Amino acid sequence: MNRSRWKTRAGAVLVGANSLARLERIAIIAAITCASASIAAAQMSPAVPERHGWSARAVLDAVPEVARARKNPFEGSEREAAAGGKLFGEHCSDCHGAKAGGTRRGPSLLREEVQKATPGELFWALTNGVVWRGMPVWSKLPEPERWQIVTFIESLRPHETKQSTVGEAANR
Amino acid sequence: MACPLIRPLVPRTIPPPREPVPRSRHGYPAAFLLSLLLWYWAPAFAQESPYIVTYDHYLEEPGNLEVEYFSTFGTQRGGNDFHSFWTEFEYGVTAWWTTELYLDGQTTFSDSTLFTGFRIENRLRLLRREHFINPVLYIEYENTSGADKILKEVEGHDVESDFAEPNGELRQDHDHELEMKLLLSSTFKGWNVALNPIFTKNLSPSEPWEFAYAIGAARPLALKASPGRCNLCRENFIAGIEMYGGLGDAQSPGLSNTSHYLAPAIAWNLPSNWTLRLSSGFGLNDNSHRLLLRWGVSREFPGFGEMLRHLFGGRE
């Protein structure tokens, strides 16, 4: 009786040792998962009103002055706008729509605040994305290609908006 | 909103709106899924780097699934040459979090073909905006056998002779490893430079931490896009070079008894969503395989998450 009790205890200790090693592994994995989730949660904004619930104006307002004042090297070039249109179709239209009118995944770029944005603001927003609200950074596209996309977005503007934007940029 | 200035350009340069995904009650589910994957996705151009070992800081676009297949042919002194292969399923959960599943296998010539394990990986972007150096945290859990030869990274004191034994012996070992990398990457004037310090811990308590590195530089062959859709334009090619190797372990850090590789690489990003990669890795010392010839093919499926939500009746 005593012998079998000792056997049982020894078995329990051995099983316990294995379980401890297993628990240690699980604890490490759980800790890393929790840490990742915490980092993720901490970086999330507390309130996301819509699916892509971010205001383009809020994004554009955050653009540093130096970036805002940058000039588009391809300003007015139809060829570069066409190349930008191709790039837009390849990289942006899934979220912003084939005609930039927006989808459930991303806002319309025909909105007034986007249309009135300076080339520098658009370039900055494209480069940095709106990472916490779903738009990835696009700095992986070379700088000239990003300017081509900006040229395309600018080309979507009605003529009068274009002129007022030039005026506003000059006043800044 | 009217677009008077660009109207003439738009129809030629922008793909038409996506067709709705057809639903079929008949046919084999696998064929249905395959046809979904291959034919019903609107093209969304992938801009993939040529790196095979090194990571830059760019994550998968949210909601997109990228399916990748890679092969490595490796020469082996004191044993049989091998062909290892792996499949990756990479999904963009958010713009700052990408998750990935790897399935590994290998064929050792004149020996056998094995499934060698799986890996689960997460990459988390740490900073909100682009900076000169952009850090991304990489965490991976590996459950592989000792016969795993994909050489996705070369760690600690990994050397060529480790792979010389027959598969029957190698497969007896099982590794449960936790791998962490800090992906540091910078893009400037078209160049991307990436540095990945690597820290690996076998979850067996007696095993020490192992260290490794991967470093790479890459640049597109052209920095400006041409207006027309094309396959062979220079802007679709990205050339680069990467170097990777082990740095010892916590008990014996350093370069002694480690292997290192230098690998020129090229990626060809096709407008049809496919990317082809080719890399030729040359061993830099006697502990390294003389040649690791790698190639890979990948395809991106934009809006995969949304499609799944539709399929399972998710909220609009």
Check which CATH number belongs to the domain holding B252 and give it. 2.40.160.40
Residue A48 lies in a domain: no
Residue A50 lies in a domain: no
Q: How many domains does chain A have?
A: 2
Shared domain for A63 and A131, answered yes or no, is yes
| DSSP 3-state of A140 | coil
Shared domain for A167 and A115, answered yes or no, is yes
CA distances (Å), origin A105, targets B11, B63, B132, B305 = 22, 9, 28, 11
What was the pLDDT predicted at A32?
Answer: 56
Best B201, B204, B224 member to test A by mutation, with max A CBs in 10 Å, is B224
First to last CA, chain A: 93
Residue of A nearest to B141 (CA): A29
- A91 at interface of B, judged by CB pairs closer than 8 A: yes
pLDDT tens, residue by residue, A59-76: 888 899 999 999 999 999
Q: Provide DSSP, chain B.
A: ---TTTTTTHHHHSPPPPPPPP--SSS-HHHHHHHHHHHSSPP------S-SS---SPPPPTT-EEEEEEEEEE--TTS--EEEEEEEEEEEEETTEEEEEEEEEEEETTS-EEEEEEEEEEEEE--SS--SSEEEEEEEEEEEETT----SS--TT--GGGG-S-HHHHTT-EEEEEEEEEEEEEEETTEEEEEEEEEEEESSTTSPEEEEEEEEEEEES-SS--SS--SS-GGGEEEEEEEEEEEEESSSBSSTT--EEEEEEEEEE-TTSEEEEEEEEEE-STTS-SEEEEEEEEEEETTHHHHHHHHTT---
Closest residue to B58, CB basis, from A88, A98, A140: A140
Whether residue B106 contacts residue B150, with contact meaning beta carbons closer than 8 Å, is answered with yes
Residue B17 lies in a domain: no
Shared domain for A70 and A134, answered yes or no, is yes
What was the pLDDT predicted at A133?
Answer: 86
Closest residue to A132, CB basis, from B49, B58, B96: B96
How close B177 comes to chain A (CA, Å)?
A: 10
A134: domain range?
56-171
Closest residue to A94, CB basis, from B96, B303, B316: B303
Task: Find the length of chain A.
Answer: 172
What was the pLDDT predicted at A50?
Answer: 42
Percentage above 70 pLDDT, chain B: 84
- Across A23-27, A130-134, B176-180, which has the greatest mean pLDDT? B176-180
What was the pLDDT predicted at A59?
Answer: 83
More confident residue, B127 or A133: B127
A-contacting residues in B 144-173 (Cβ below 8 Å): none
Q: Is the per-residue pLDDT at A53 higher than 90?
A: no
Q: Is the per-residue pLDDT at A2 higher than 90?
A: no
Cα angle A61-A64-A67, degrees, rounded to a multiple of 5:
110
Residue of A nearest to B44 (CA): A90
Burial class (CB in 10 A: 0-12, 13-18, 19+), B127: middle
Shared domain for A70 and A2, answered yes or no, is no
What was the pLDDT predicted at B243?
Answer: 98
Whether residue B95 contacts residue B64, with contact meaning beta carbons closer than 8 Å, is answered with no
Q: How many whole angstroms separate alpha carbon B179 and alpha carbon B209?
A: 10
Kindly report the number of other CB atoms within 10 A of residue B197's CB atom. 15
Lowest mean pLDDT segment, chosen from A49-63, B155-169, B208-222: A49-63
pLDDT tens, residue by residue, B91-107: 999 999 999 999 999 99
Percentage above 90 pLDDT, chain B: 78
Shared domain for A60 and A31, answered yes or no, is no
Residue B104 lies in a domain: yes
What was the pLDDT predicted at A48?
Answer: 33
Residue B171 lies in a domain: yes
Residue of A nearest to B220 (CA): A142
Best A39, A94, A143, A157 member to test B by mutation, with max B CBs in 10 Å, is A94
Lowest mean pLDDT segment, chosen from A34-48, A111-125, B230-244: A34-48
Count of A-B CB contacts under 8 Å? 160
How close A35 comes to chain B (CA, Å)?
A: 11
Q: Is the per-residue pLDDT at B162 higher than 90?
A: yes
Q: How many whole angstroms separate alpha carbon B29 and alpha carbon B39?
A: 15
Residue B6 lies in a domain: no
Q: Is the per-residue pLDDT at A101 higher than 60?
A: yes
- B226 at interface of A, judged by CB pairs closer than 8 A: yes
pLDDT tens, residue by residue, B253-290: 999 999 999 999 999 999 888 999 999 999 999 999 99
Contacts with A83 from chain B: Cβ below 8 Å: 224-227
Residue B109 lies in a domain: yes
How close A172 comes to chain B (CA, Å)?
A: 24
Q: Is the per-residue pLDDT at B22 higher than 60?
A: no
Rg for chain B (alpha carbons), in Å?
21
Residue of B nearest to A129 (CA): B129
Q: How many domains does chain B have?
A: 1
Residue B115: pLDDT band (50, 70, 90) is very high
What was the pLDDT predicted at B68?
Answer: 97
